[in-house]
Structure 1
């Protein structure tokens, strides 16, 4: 999946029609492709130069650590991340987009998770969790899967990274949350996928479908701690699908035509997505870096 600066331009006219005002600083997401590429390349260079034991070279903003695997079963996930450079790209885009009051570390390694630790200001994504995703996708490929199993695994991992990032933003920015924080985290994960990633809607659908399959078969899910702690259920899957459809009813028309989204609910999805996006952009406006 190509990671481009899709921006919010494609959706702004829809929001204007619904009288939704976005803040001017959201132009960060309309940065040109070349600027995004340079931001990512600069991060990659600094990360590689400071890699050593896995610690990113910079010491402010978004930090990336990839611990060497200590279990044979974790090696596959570690190699997938190292070879793809997907997470370096993700962190580079976040670094270019958001200001943080304190450094936030993304650690890939062993242990429990995915989870955000407010004491350490650290998001942990375990290698076994990534291996579990690959295993689940191999047994039950998502209907939206159009790429390789490895790419789809990385897509789900990236969506989960955005989900945990939402918890970090709530903590670091002291953001108010109405309703369940897990639902708010799903919303931001889906929004960032749609706005920051080419074909990001499909990424969110792949993740949502996997969550739904886990919910339906939780007893047979390996290492199900993440899924259990995050209250995976069909309602969350349906909400993510509705947001994706509402973001682009033309591209994702098959979701409504196939009955994946009931007709009456499908009519409400564009407003649901607009309301969700407006709410998050208003909360994050002051922390978005100028273009």
Structure 2
């Protein structure tokens, strides 16, 4: 099977002689490789095109050079037969083309978006969430970060902190995550039988935790967000502390 690999590099500094004096020489350190397996049909080709024409690759590449540097490199394989999944034995994230197609169909069926551009944007938002989720699992394993609690909540925190600090429209993507991945939204859609969705679909409790982080990051800006939720004032104040603690915890690892 043919494939296309795109490598992303970060750089580690080492002192080397430069023009008779010591300067900083940059050695390439691979962090993330994008691998595109050959599509088997027109539908898979469309899925591949959606990814390559979106900002996803640029976003993941930039983050791989500043936030989650992997050495040895982490492969992200589009067109795999399994997944979405992080395969720790192969050190790769697997994303089937079929999953991207299912996301597009899900968006078309369950959202009010009327234009192809809007549907493609919502699809790539959902795919970015999926990728960051699996990258979170890979990063926690790579850095041997202690898991002191629920593993999925820890990864939700990782994803949300990155969305809020590093990604254009990240707050919007986090807020819309329930619309994209809630059990209610996914019922009777092509995604309902997907193993990744069955394992990771957002419960209302997980979604409220994500919203709590968003609100806690800037209570004044996001006050209307929680006005619509059944959270008392004391719970809203706790969101400030929850975000601060979560942000400081990931600051230790992500250099935010």
8 A contact 2:32–2:74 mirrored in 1: yes
Q: Do structure 1's residue 216 and structure 2's residue 184 form an aligned pair?
A: yes
Q: For the structure 1 residues 159 and 219, does the alpha-carbon distance in structure 2 shift closer, same or farther, using more than 3 Å as the test?
A: closer
Write out per-residue CA displacement over residues 103-130 of structure 1, whole angstroms, 9 at most, x where no aligned residue: 1111111322111111111011222222
Number of matched pairs: 229
Q: Distance in 1 between matches of 2:233 and 2:46?
A: 42
Q: Do structure 1's residue 234 and structure 2's residue 234 form an aligned pair?
A: no
Q: Distance in 1 between matches of 2:161 and 2:112?
A: 20
Q: Do structure 1's residue 93 and structure 2's residue 62 form an aligned pair?
A: yes
CA-atom RMSD in angstroms: 2.4
TM-score by structure 1 length? 0.71
- Give the alignment partner of residue 243 of structure 1, picking from 196, 213, 220: 213
Q: For the structure 1 residues 105 and 257, does the alpha-carbon distance in structure 2 shift closer, same or farther, using more than 3 Å as the test?
A: same
Q: What does residue 172 of structure 2 align with?
A: 202
Deviation of the 1:236 alpha carbon = 1.1
Q: What does residue 244 of structure 2 align with?
A: 274
Q: For the structure 1 residues 173 and 115, does the alpha-carbon distance in structure 2 shift closer, same or farther, using more than 3 Å as the test?
A: same
- Give the alignment partner of residue 153 of structure 1, picking from 111, 123, 142: 123
- Give the alignment partner of residue 5 of structure 2, picking from 44, 47, 55: 55
Q: What does residue 112 of structure 1 align with?
A: 82
TM-score by structure 2 length? 0.80
Write out per-residue CA displacement over residues 144-182 of structure 1, whole angstroms, 9 at most, x where no aligned residue: xxx812112111211221111110011111110111211
Higher relative contact order (CA 8 A, sep 6+): 1
Q: For the structure 1 residues 99 and 269, does the alpha-carbon distance in structure 2 shift closer, same or farther, using more than 3 Å as the test?
A: same
8 A contact 2:106–2:186 mirrored in 1: no
Deviation of the 1:261 alpha carbon = 4.7
Q: Distance in 1 between matches of 2:106 and 2:122?
A: 11
Question: Gaps (5+ residues) in structure 1?
Answer: 1-51
Question: Gaps (5+ residues) in structure 2?
Answer: 10-29
8 A contact 1:80–1:150 mirrored in 2: yes
Greater shift, 167-176 or 244-253, is seen at: 244-253
Q: Distance in 2 between matches of 1:109 and 1:238?
A: 33
8 A contact 1:63–1:104 mirrored in 2: yes
Report the structure, 1 or 2, having the larger helix content. Answer: 1
Report the structure, 1 or 2, having the larger strand content. Answer: 2
8 A contact 1:211–1:237 mirrored in 2: no
- Give the alignment partner of residue 128 of structure 1, picking from 51, 73, 98: 98
Q: Distance in 2 between matches of 1:203 and 1:142?
A: 16
Q: Distance in 2 between matches of 1:259 and 1:208?
A: 13
